Amino acid sequence: MTARAVVIGAPASGSGKTAVATGLMAALRRRGTTVAPFKVGPDYIDPGYHTLAAGRPGRNLDPVLVGAERIAPLARHGAAGAQIAVVEGVMGLFDGRVADGYGSTAQIAGLLGAPVVLVVDCRGQSRSLAALLHGFRSFDPDVRLAGVILNRVGSPRHADVLRAAAAEVGLPVLGALPRRAELAVPSRHLGLVTAAEHGSAATAAVDAMAALVAEHVDLDAVARLAEPLPGGPAWSAADAAREWRVAPQRDAPLTSAPRIAVAGGAAFTFGYAEHVELLVAAGAEVAVVDPLHDEALPEGTAGLVLPGGFPEEHVAALGANAPLRAAINELAGSGAPVHGECGGLLYLCSDLDGEPMCGVLPASATMTGRLTLGYRDAVALSESAPFAAGQRVAGHEFHHCAVTPRAGADPAWGWRGGEPEGFVTAAVHASFLHTHPAGAPDAVARFVARAGARVARAS
């Protein structure tokens, strides 16, 4: 079965596409449709809500981080067994990394051959909607704008005027959603509070989105618009890992599966589903550890992955878990590979806003009022467990933190216009840079191989 796909875009951020896309996923699922959820770009927060809505892992489609050639294969992989893929866009429809729109929602729609449904915040406009829709439909003839969902409509009369405006340019209105305060989910930084942190309130928010969309959007019409994903092979973690293992310069095959602990729970939610899949495909046994509650690493841990998240929101609880902090310090000191990204970097520091952390790195972390955000074309400045010195990757920064010093004697990354950043010490690699494992699967395989070699030496 080939899944069909539809892309939910918007003229700009703040139009309500997250509520509409999440509600659409949940509403379709509740009537028996198997939904594969996707998010355009490096966002880690929306996919958590998508996972709640669809009951399947929310996945990201980001050509900047993985390459345009991997987008359709990753979509086919994530949509395996699903009937429809719902892809939530990022920012405005044509907004990408640079002026050419690379990484935009429009580019993803083109790579998937999928139609776009535009979610428009209709506050403060009536017939002007026709001009807006005309502009978005005619701007790029390769993007098929198939319909519009009117959001934050003030009254039935307002909806009628807006429908007439859309009819002037020949675009069907697939739904008209009234303004609803209960759809507001608490925000932090640039996005929502993560679903893992928001707990039962996140479920209630998804329920409210689903109910609103089911009542006011023509689900059948949206489903009919969806087009089959393009044919071809699906991305395979096993194939990606196998390509690395068979290269002649690589380490010998693993003699046993090293156990890799991956931090999870409310403090470490910023990860890609493909990361765990690649760890397993490379030969690891994955065990999840929650630093907010678990006082020990899983028995036999041979390596540790600390993804991003919001550890600063849980700093007191993380600091109070002295047994786990000590265990991580001991693991790192033993030479086991440890990889920390952004929030993971903070947790490995000596302290965060004065609270004790793991003390693996000779650095202190503080929250600041300054947002650091953007893609980075980075080069590895030091040889490490996951990355070869000189290796080039595309990554993304998103944080309000400062680490002093910014880098160790052996820095992790450098990029044009920036100072060296991050730490490489023994088998530890930690930095603010987020990378997508599907864009650099060799880094995951190298990490597992390092852990496996350590296990082999100890046996």
Q: How far apart are CA 31 and CA 83, in angstroms?
A: 12
Question: Are 299 and 331 contacting, i.e. CB atoms less than 8 angstroms apart?
Answer: no
Question: Are 56 and 37 contacting, i.e. CB atoms less than 8 angstroms apart?
Answer: yes
Enter the DSSP assignment of 387: -
CA atoms within 13 A on the CB side of 186: 11
| Cis amide linkage into residue 405, ω under 30° from 0 | yes
342 tagged catalytic = yes
| Chain centroid offset of residue 55 CA | 16
Catalytic residue among 342, 349, 358, 401, which?
Answer: 342
Q: How far apart are CA 298 and CA 269, in angstroms?
A: 19
User: How many helices and strands in the chain, by DSSP H and E?
Assistant: 16, 21
Other CB atoms within 10 A of residue 421 CB: 22
Q: Smallest Cα–Cα separation from 358: which of 385, 372, 340, 335?
A: 340
Enter the DSSP assignment of 382: S
Complete DSSP assignment for 73-116: HHHHHHTTT-SEEEEE--SSTT--SSTT-TT-HHHHHHHHT--E
DSSP E strand boundaries for 257-354? 259-263, 285-289, 301-306, 338-341, 351-352
Q: How far apart are CA 22 and CA 183, in angstroms?
A: 11
Residue numbers annotated as active site:
342
